[in-house]
Amino acid sequence: MENLQVDALVVGGGIAGMQAALDLADQGFKVVLVEREPSIGGKMITLSKVFPTLDCCSCITTPKMSSVAHHPNIQLLTYCELQSVTEAAEGFRVGVMQKPRYVDASKCTGCRNCEYECPITVPSPFDRGLGAYRAIRVPFSTAVPQAAVLDMENCILCGKCEKICAANAVDFTQQPETFDIHAATLIMASGFELTPLNAKKEYGGGALRNVIDPLMMERFLAPTGPYGRVLRPGDGKEPTSIAYVQCAGSRDTTLGVEYCSRVCCMYAIKQAMLISGALPLAEITIYYMDIRTFGKGYEQFYQNAQAMGVEFVRGKVASIREDAEQNPVVKVELTEESRTVERTHDLVVLSLGMLPATGSNEILGLPLGTDKFIAVPAPNASPCATAQPGVFVAGTAMGPMDIVDSIVTASAAAAAASAYIREHQKEAVYA
Amino acid sequence: MSELKVEAKSRSEMLKQLREAHAVTVEQAQGLLRAQKQMHQSICKFIRENPKTVPEIAAAIGKPTHEVLWFIAASKKYGLVVEVGMCGDYPLYQRAKEAQE
Amino acid sequence: MPENSVPENNPASAGEEIRVGVYTCHCGGNISHVVQCEQVAKLLGKLPDVVVTRTDPSFCSDTGQAIIEQDIKELGINRVVIGACAPSLHEQTFRGAVTRAGLNPYLYQHVGIREQDSWVHSSDHEGATEKAVRLMAAGVAKARLLTPLAPIRLSAEKQALVIGGGVAGLRSALDIARQGIRVTLVEKSPFLGGRMGQLESVFPLDEDPRQLLHDLIQELAAHPGITVLTQAEVTAVFGYVGNFNVQVTQHARGINDDIAEALMAACTQETTDEFNYGLTRRKVIYRPYPGCYPATPAVDWEHYNGEPIHVNGESIVLKDELQTYELTAGAVVLATGFNPYEPHQGEYGYSEIPQVITLPQLIRHLALLKDGDELTWNSSPVRDIALIHCVGSRELDGVHEPQADGQVNNYCSRVCCTASLHMAVELRQRFPKLNLYELYQDIRTYGRGHEEIYRHAQSSMVRFLRYHGDERPEVIAAPDGDTHPVLVRVKDYLTYGEEMEVPVDLVALAVGMMPRQVDDLVNMFKVARGADRFLLEAHPKLRPVEMAVRGIVLAGTAQGPMNLQESLSAASAAAAKVAALLGQGWVELPPFVAHVNLTKCNGAGACVKACREDGAITLQTFIEDGHEVQRAVVTPANCTGCGACVGACPNRAIDVQAWTLAQYEAMVDAIAMEYPAFVEIYR
């Protein structure tokens, strides 16, 4: 068991957690960043390009990941689960369990020889299961730390990886490691989960292979994606007609999700533009109820998409079925024309919304809002303060928001946390 | 360092003990490996001479198209298969060894 | 390619072997989909002194940076050239990597082959590849002449200036002060609180905005590290990050607390009350609302006519006196806020039809009604009311009348949908018999708890009418004798495009947000505005609350439309940036400043005349061979590196460091060079 004493513990290594950690560390505070996955980067690192600037996503994310890894005031704990959080004198005691990577991350050079040697291929969650990696692998090309991780569930213990590793980093006998961390303040940046693809049965997600989720499309559009191009996952066809179903999982009382997920309009429009670039002949239709392009520069982005020929159809999608050629057939009520039509597409993207991530929120036992995201009792006074003094929230852990808003709330949470440390901790570790 | 590593007399003995300790998952993974080897062999046999599309491969080996595509994507990532042009709306794939000759 | 085709310049430091590493980034496809990066790398490898050339999907990633670091350590690379995105994005990232590897960070040259090449020549792959080669060859030519430099480290004042006393400015000031940094808050008007004080209830929790403000201001007023200056404006700015010297000019309060009440009571002169958006009049000695801060009434110097006011048999003439303060601030927060969009005359009948008002006016009008009063307007009962969304927002070029600057507001103002629906819910509660119409394009209740307000309105017998952006509703005066004074015409797509005519008693326009007029601040601080006229952040994701000018940060609606919660977040974020910047007590500036070669300078002083900055370059007396001579001397902290002196110097005695004339000449030669090998490949 390792004991750590820090000013702040940040839960979650996505964009919000990284930004909050960096802002605190830049002020001289000692920070531990705890991430559940083997690499930091969160959902953002899986995206292709980001709206409205169409910057390539890794150009924005990877340098932040690198800054976190190199910052002298940040200690990074990846592949870790929160075990317990208790109030303690002047702060919190947090129990963290680091899962075994079966690779000594301090020795691993990220050469990936083990990955090429490994005989077992498994679906990669980084590619939403549509791409693959090996039972031992570096999680993705720009992962931080750049170290392999072995998935014991799919390992035959053949020992090939251990043999080929020049750094002698593979260790099949690694055990979980626990950390006892004393932190003056906590920042919850535990993020979101995408609405499950099969949440709304009428839409056929999960059953119909060519009805996909938007993060799959992000991977198809990314240069490191599973196919290296946009293909539909059912049979590898290059789609010429692609449809987006907006509010699939948001603003839907039947799913118990009454709220708007804020990003779906913009990501659908962005993907439509990127697809137009990748497949100039493709026809793209967006079925929507209200277009919500409310951010800075977003309305212009929407107008540009209209000018590019993306078809916006105001309508409510009732159901999606499949024809004999695996083509999704969308039944849509055209709300401006009082009629229902069926339209056949090659590929349908369900513009799924955001649900709160589970796991660490429960460990803390923080009060949640009716939307199940972490409650912020006084949004118009302390927009990042949770119901628990000393615990702050950043990014999508407090509700759906886009990257810009996540980054701003992360900096705001860092400001609130640093003020709290100075006011409640007689001697900050930073001294 | 865990007890296992200390106790085991040799590397092979350690692996053997570990395999016993993880018997259930190891057996499942071995099953998976056999299926993947078979799939790999039948796909490679079909796309060795001439590049083929995913539906063509699927029809030839009697597997669903989405499974074949997943396997092709995986093989492509590790340099075993390459994309060589299009046939209509479908990309053509060939075994890397032959395609690069 | 023959090596002698490259002009040989003197190596930077005599005796040192120049070893250049050249890195061409794919930028995740952004560059490599257009530019043939491998060809670029191959060709650049033939340039003199180039030891290694590499490509990578993204050199800015940790793995990419590690490759460069490794080359520096293992191959002895001592000049690094990276062809990638614009330097504004990742120059600092790579300087960090170079430094970590033990090399001076200024021995690295960044070449922008994305913004300047692949993005603008996406349809000409060969041309773009050739351009990348030429740009990067120029980078190599320059890199060979680079010399080690050190950043200019200056002490930074642990003092910040916040401009704007609305909720964003208040929040920023408090959060900065809580980090142990002293703050001066400058507010133009006589009272703190800004636009928030004019609201009656804030969504989504229906809190009392003036209570929230009161709590915030109490905390701020009690903080020993904060100085508040009301009726004050920044009138001059000198200096730079860490040391902005700011002149603030403040009007006199002009009134003592002991006779304030009596003076206010005795004052008879009135003017339009901007607090109620012109719906009422107020005295020229006034408080906007009870409980305002400061509590001392203010004199409206702009409208006060100078006549004596009679109190207790005395005639008192109030006098304004301007007072000027000089203060030093390490960083500045711009929290200058917004104005509601003012519709032009005739827009939806505004300022022509008396029954057409704005939503902010309606909020004030309701606040002025007593509980239990019926809703009236100009003494007539209001039975039917229409709220029109997107007034001054989401405007289209060619459809909407441009404003004085020729532009339309093509942005969404974020708050108007929720504010209108919030109003509809309130109206329904207070006036159960009122007929309510909401005319909208898209309902944008995106925020937490906002969709619930929409649902509440939907279940509160509010009639929704949906129009298309290019077919905006029309508001006209009804013919005499009609039941209602106003007709709203709209093509409603909720009833499949039916042309509707809705007779109403009152129309409220949900006006959008416009930035406040801040031309003077923009000029003084030399900061940028976006196409939407709001202040422009340095980068929406990498530096979302910082401006391109270092040390200047943004808080709240000066940056763009935001609701209260978003303004508060942005304000706290701004405070985090200020705290990080000033926490160490020093800041570093890049060393790209003028440098005089004293052996070439003859003291003619042309550079001093050409210099546009105060005190950046001066003539000083030196003793040379027993004679007094004049020589130019640069004060690096004051120099912006503009190069005006370089052009003026007749002796080529001045250079801007890392951008020397010799380096420029080498770059020009490289760009214009013949490339036999290159031509061979592409013809």
Specify whether domain A100-175 bears CATH 3.30.70.20: yes
Gap between the Cα atoms of C361 and C374, Å rounded: 17
Are A132 and B77 an interchain contact pair (Cβ–Cβ within 8 Å)?
Answer: yes
Nearest CA to CA, how far is A292 from chain C (Å)?
Answer: 5
Which of C514, C545, C390, C411 lies closest to A301, judged by CA? Answer: C411
- For residues C605-633, one letter each, b for 16 or more C-beta atoms within 10 angstroms of the residue's C-beta and e for the rest, the string is bbbbebbebeebbbbeeeeeeeeeebbbe
Q: What is the mean pLDDT of residues C232-260?
A: 94
List the single residue in B with minimal CA-CA distance to A233: B66
State percent of chain A over pLDDT 70.
98
Gap between the Cα atoms of C214 and C291, Å rounded: 8
Gap between the Cα atoms of C216 and C210, Å rounded: 10
Domain ranges of chain C: 3-150, 159-250+323-337+518-586, 257-316, 340-514
List pLDDT tens digits, range A336-359. 998 999 999 999 999 999 999 988
Region of C378 please: left (phi>0), alpha (psi -120 to 50) or beta.
Answer: left
Nearest CA to CA, how far is B80 from chain A (Å)?
Answer: 11
Tokens of C413: 């103002």
Give A195-353's CATH code, choosing from 3.30.2310.20, 3.50.50.60, 3.30.70.3270, 3.40.50.150: 3.50.50.60
For chain C, the average pLDDT equals 93
Q: What is the mean pLDDT of residues A150-171?
A: 94
A29 interfacial to chain B (CB closer than 8 Å): no
List pLDDT tens digits, range C205-215. 999 999 999 99
Are C580 and A296 an interchain contact pair (Cβ–Cβ within 8 Å)?
Answer: no
Are B70 and A240 an interchain contact pair (Cβ–Cβ within 8 Å)?
Answer: no
Nearest CA to CA, how far is C644 from chain A (Å)?
Answer: 34
Gap between the Cα atoms of A356 and A393, Å rounded: 13
Q: What integer pLDDT is reported at residue C633 of this predicted model?
A: 94
Predicted confidence band of residue C683 (pLDDT cuts 50, 70, 90): very low
Query: What radius of gyration do chain C's Cα atoms show?
Result: 32
Predicted confidence band of residue C674 (pLDDT cuts 50, 70, 90): confident
List pLDDT tens digits, range A38-77. 999 999 999 999 999 998 898 899 989 999 999 999 999 9
List pLDDT tens digits, range A18-47. 999 999 999 999 999 999 999 999 999 999
A281 interfacial to chain B (CB closer than 8 Å): no
Are B74 and A326 an interchain contact pair (Cβ–Cβ within 8 Å)?
Answer: no
Are C64 and A62 an interchain contact pair (Cβ–Cβ within 8 Å)?
Answer: yes
List pLDDT tens digits, range A249-301. 899 999 999 999 999 999 999 999 999 999 999 999 999 999 999 999 999 99
pTM for the whole structure = 0.91
Q: What is the mean pLDDT of residues C327-335?
A: 97
pLDDT at residue C313 tops 60: yes
Q: What integer pLDDT is reported at residue A110 of this predicted model?
A: 86
By Cβ distance, the residue of A294, A412, A423 closest to C446 is A294
| Vertex A304 angle, CA A303 and A308, to 5° | 120
Element containing residue C261 per DSSP (H, E): helix C257-266
Q: What integer pLDDT is reported at residue C2 of this predicted model?
A: 34
* Chain B residues within an 8 Å CB radius of A241: none
Same fold, C3-150 and C159-250+323-337+518-586: no
Higher pLDDT, A221 or B2: A221
Q: What integer pLDDT is reported at residue A426 of this predicted model?
A: 55
> In a mutagenesis test of the A interface, which of B5, B17, B41, B66 is the best target, namely the one with the most A β-carbons within 10 Å?
B66
List pLDDT tens digits, range C129-154. 999 999 999 999 999 999 999 999 98
pLDDT at residue C585 tops 70: yes
Predicted confidence band of residue C90 (pLDDT cuts 50, 70, 90): confident
Nearest CA to CA, how far is B59 from chain A (Å)?
Answer: 11
Q: What integer pLDDT is reported at residue C677 of this predicted model?
A: 53
By Cβ distance, the residue of A338, A384, A408 closest to C545 is A408
pLDDT at residue A209 tops 50: yes
By Cβ distance, the residue of B5, B68, B76 closest to A173 is B5
Q: What integer pLDDT is reported at residue C3 of this predicted model?
A: 34
Nearest CA to CA, how far is A115 from chain B (Å)?
Answer: 9
pLDDT at residue C379 tops 90: yes
Q: Where in chain A is the domain with CATH 3.50.50.60?
A: 2-99+176-191+357-424, 195-353
Nearest CA to CA, how far is B48 from chain A (Å)?
Answer: 19
Residue C317: Cβ-neighbour burial (10 angstroms; 0-12, 13-18, 19+): exposed
Query: Would you give the end-to-end CA distance of chain C in angstroms?
Result: 15
Nearest CA to CA, how far is A111 from chain B (Å)?
Answer: 14
Q: What integer pLDDT is reported at residue A319 of this predicted model?
A: 97
Chains C, B in contact: 3+ Cβ pairs under 8 A? Answer: no
* Chain B residues within an 8 Å CB radius of A326: 65
A neighbours by CB contacts (3+ pairs under 8 Å): B, C
Q: What integer pLDDT is reported at residue A428 of this predicted model?
A: 46
* Chain A residues within an 8 Å CB radius of B90: 235-238
The CATH superfamily holding the domain A2-99+176-191+357-424 is: FAD/NAD(P)-binding domain (3.50.50.60)
List pLDDT tens digits, range C30-68. 899 899 999 999 989 988 899 999 999 889 888 899 999
pLDDT at residue C5 tops 50: no
List pLDDT tens digits, range A377-401. 999 999 999 999 999 999 999 999 9
Q: What integer pLDDT is reported at residue C299 of this predicted model?
A: 96
List pLDDT tens digits, range C606-654. 999 999 887 889 999 998 888 899 999 998 888 889 999 999 999 999 9
What beta strand segments (E) does C77-231 contain? Answer: 79-84, 108-112, 152-155, 159-163, 182-186, 226-229
Place of tokens 């796309």: B47
Are C100 and A222 an interchain contact pair (Cβ–Cβ within 8 Å)?
Answer: no
Q: What integer pLDDT is reported at residue C676 of this predicted model?
A: 61
Q: What is the mean pLDDT of residues A220-247?
A: 96
Gap between the Cα atoms of B75 and B70, Å rounded: 9
Specify whether domain C159-250+323-337+518-586 bears CATH 3.30.70.20: no
Are A154 and B25 an interchain contact pair (Cβ–Cβ within 8 Å)?
Answer: yes
Domains defined along chain B, listed by start = 3-99 (1.10.10.10)
Q: What integer pLDDT is reported at residue C678 of this predicted model?
A: 52
A176 interfacial to chain B (CB closer than 8 Å): no
Q: Which of residues 321-340 of A touch B (CB under 8 A)?
A: 326
pLDDT at residue A104 tops 90: yes
Are A69 and C62 an interchain contact pair (Cβ–Cβ within 8 Å)?
Answer: yes
B20 interfacial to chain A (CB closer than 8 Å): no
Q: What integer pLDDT is reported at residue C1 of this predicted model?
A: 33
Tokens of C49: 């002194």
Exposure on the CB side of residue C451, measured as CA atoms within 13 A: 21
Are C60 and A66 an interchain contact pair (Cβ–Cβ within 8 Å)?
Answer: yes
Exposure on the CB side of residue C368, measured as CA atoms within 13 A: 17
pLDDT at residue B8 tops 70: no
Nearest CA to CA, how far is A281 from chain C (Å)?
Answer: 16
Are A172 and B86 an interchain contact pair (Cβ–Cβ within 8 Å)?
Answer: no
B34 interfacial to chain A (CB closer than 8 Å): no
pLDDT at residue B18 tops 60: yes
Q: Looking at the domain that runs over C340-514, which CATH code has it been given?
A: 3.50.50.60
Which of A1, A16, A64, A20 lies closest to A421, judged by CA? Answer: A20
List pLDDT tens digits, range C542-557. 899 999 888 999 999 9
Gap between the Cα atoms of A116 and B78, Å rounded: 7
pLDDT at residue B87 tops 80: yes
Which of C205, C212, C210, C203 lies closest to A377, judged by CA? Answer: C205
Give C3-150's CATH code, choosing from 1.25.40, 3.40.50, 3.40.120, 1.10.3470: 3.40.50
Q: What is the mean pLDDT of residues C657-674?
A: 92
Chains A, C in contact: 3+ Cβ pairs under 8 A? Answer: yes
Q: What integer pLDDT is reported at residue A27 of this predicted model?
A: 94
Q: What integer pLDDT is reported at residue C613 of this predicted model?
A: 80
For chain A, the average pLDDT equals 94
Q: What integer pLDDT is reported at residue A362 of this predicted model?
A: 86
CA dihedral (A45, A48, A49, A50) positive or negative: negative
> In a mutagenesis test of the A interface, which of C26, C56, C61, C533 is the best target, namely the one with the most A β-carbons within 10 Å?
C61
